[in-house]
Amino acid sequence: MGLSTTGDIISHAIARNFGIGAFNVIGIEHAEAIVAGAEQVRAPVLLQLSENTIRFHFGQLAPIGLACLAIARSSTVAVSVHLDHATSVELCHEAQALGITSLMFDGSTLPYDRNVAETMQVASWGHARGMWMEAELGEIGGKAGVHVPGARTNPDQAVKFVEQTRVDALAVAIGTSHAMLERSAKLDLALLARLRDAVPVPLVMHGSSGVTDDDLGNAVRAGMVKINVGTQLNQVFVGAVRTALDGTDSVDPRVFMAPGRDAISSTVGRILVAIGADTDL
């Protein structure tokens, strides 16, 4: 299939009742590994680039963004490239100009009214250019964002937020948290069911690295569509690199980076199966 739009991939997932894995890219090895893992289980996948990753690449989106697009084009499964947690409008514009078809504008740390106003403006701009737009709703009146331990999304406010901003998907808080190193998150599946029934757009789960495979599947069956994973890939990559370094005196980076890349591929494949990987795209 190769390079696809996020909107098409998400629509296909909704029609067939499975989840879409959206995996964070740090470097080109991550992107290669994510797509290889998706190809192993014949499932569509999203490559996500965050502002943190772009800062790591000296603040330049184009080199890593174009690399991800090239890897997507050469894939045998459907792959989309997504800009994640963007707070800079200028970065959103650059992503669209490169050929990235979707983004998540993150105003979750802003007061509610300002989050609505800025998200609505970016969503209107993106829709005029055929982009799929995701957003995140912060706590009522708060500036900490929703993805902190114990935070929960209010269904009534979520409905209002989507109506006001007209985004295509909403990241909601049901018990996960970013950067979890242990898979110990306790999902509020009853709240997820309420959100699914109330909110008229696909739901997104951030912080999915802290969720067990069984609960990933449970979340998809309860209404979650897009599953974001980052920290878990970094964990297995670093673990494999450390093991390889302990066993060699080689100064060739390929000797220890290849096992790290393979570890990411295996993890991606396992997660895609857990969320009901579909083979018909």
Q: What Rg value do the Cα atoms of the chain yield, rounded?
A: 18
Active site residue 84: yes
Burial 51-78 (b: 16+ CB within 10 A, else e): bebbeebeeebeebbebbbebbeebebb
**Which of 8, 84, 113, 213 is an active site residue?**
84
Tokens 């800062």: give the residue.
55
Q: What is the dihedral of CA 22, 51, 32, 236, to 10 degrees?
A: -70
- Cβ count near 47 (within 10 Å): 27
Strand pairing partners for 134?
104, 169
Tokens 């980052």: give the residue.
230
Please check whether residue 104 is in contact with residue 70, taking contact to mean a CB–CB distance below 8 angstroms. Answer: no
d(C-alpha 102, C-alpha 23), whole Å: 14
d(C-alpha 42, C-alpha 35), whole Å: 10
- The token duo for 186 is 């306790």
Residues ≥6 apart with Cβ < 8 Å to 164: 116, 120
Q: Which residues belong to the active site? A: 84
